């Protein structure tokens, strides 16, 4: 496969929010960055100055969009909204912590911990549906930018899906890899599928919380 047919992606999880610190499940609830998250976005801005991209995209949720606007301020590209990069919809668990979920909805929390692939949190997205949305959206971006580098701002759940796609991990396998806020995650897409280049690069950051494991 020639480089003209390979799309290089830098995928970045949004900066920190207050709900990240509380281990509160955000999903589609539109929470903005806190002061630490804004600082991470500024650190991203400095780190990205060493790279060039043909295009930049972001989830339309505020925490990702705000991160993208700050981080790309010195790049000569505009950020385009990409709703397919949104976090998973966690249905009835959105807005509560994992601890609260284990007490209030133990039936739902069981599926959450088990990563049941076809469970949709009663009114949210199953992992199977979520994977379809994420991978179709990223595939479309790859087709739009063959041979180019693409910057994308997104969420921990999306990165979980992409890592599994690139490494062959099952949807319901326990997570044994990190998903820190505002880290660099590099992948390539070609006709052969996805290839992991580098993951969870945090050298530009003073602080990075990992995605909630529970």
| Structural contact between residues 200 and 178, judged by C-beta atoms closer than 8 angstroms | yes
- The beta strands (E) that lie in 30-108 are given as 55-58, 79-81
Contacts for 155 with CB less than 8 Å, ≥ 6 apart: 13, 14, 59, 61, 63, 64, 85, 86, 87, 88
Residues 43, 205 contacting (CB under 8 angstroms) = yes
Token digits for 36? 């630490």
Active site residue 87: yes
The single residue of 43, 87, 125, 188 carrying the catalytic annotation is 87
Number of other CB atoms surrounding residue 80 within 10 Å: 13
Catalytic, 66? Answer no
In this structure, what is the dihedral angle of CA atoms 171, 177, 179, 182, given to the nearest 10 degrees?
-140
Question: How many Å apart are CA 127 and CA 8, to the nearest integer?
Answer: 25
* Contact present, 145 and 5 (Cβ < 8 Å): no
> Crossing angle of helices 62-71/35-48, nearest 10°?
40
* Residue at token pair 């396998």: 173
Active site residues: 14, 87
């Amino acid at each position: 496969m020639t480089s003209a047919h390979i799309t290089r992606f830098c995928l970045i999880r949004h900066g920190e929010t207050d709900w990240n610190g509380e281990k509160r499940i955000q999903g589609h609830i539109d929470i903005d960055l806190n002061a630490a998250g804004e600082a991470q976005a500024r650190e991203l801005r400095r780190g990205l100055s060493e790279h060039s991209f043909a295009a930049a995209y972001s989830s339309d949720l505020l925490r990702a969009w705000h991160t993208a606007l700050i981080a790309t301020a010195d790049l000569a590209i505009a950020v385009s909204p990409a709703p397919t990069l949104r976090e998973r919809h966690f249905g009835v668990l959105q807005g509560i912590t994992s601890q609260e979920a284990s007490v209030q909805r133990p039936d739902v929390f069981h599926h959450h911990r088990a990563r049941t692939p076809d469970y949709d949190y009663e009114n949210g997205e199953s992992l199977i549906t979520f994977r379809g949305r994420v991978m179709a959206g990223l595939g479309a971006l790859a087709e739009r930018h063959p041979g180019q580098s693409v910057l994308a701002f997104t969420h921990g759940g999306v990165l979980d899906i992409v890592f599994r796609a690139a490494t062959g991990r099952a949807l319901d396998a326990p997570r044994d890899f990190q998903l820190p806020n505002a880290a660099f995650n590099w992948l390539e897409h070609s006709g052969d599928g996805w290839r992991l280049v580098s993951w969870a690069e945090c050298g530009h950051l003073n602080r990075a919380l990992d995605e909630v494991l529970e």
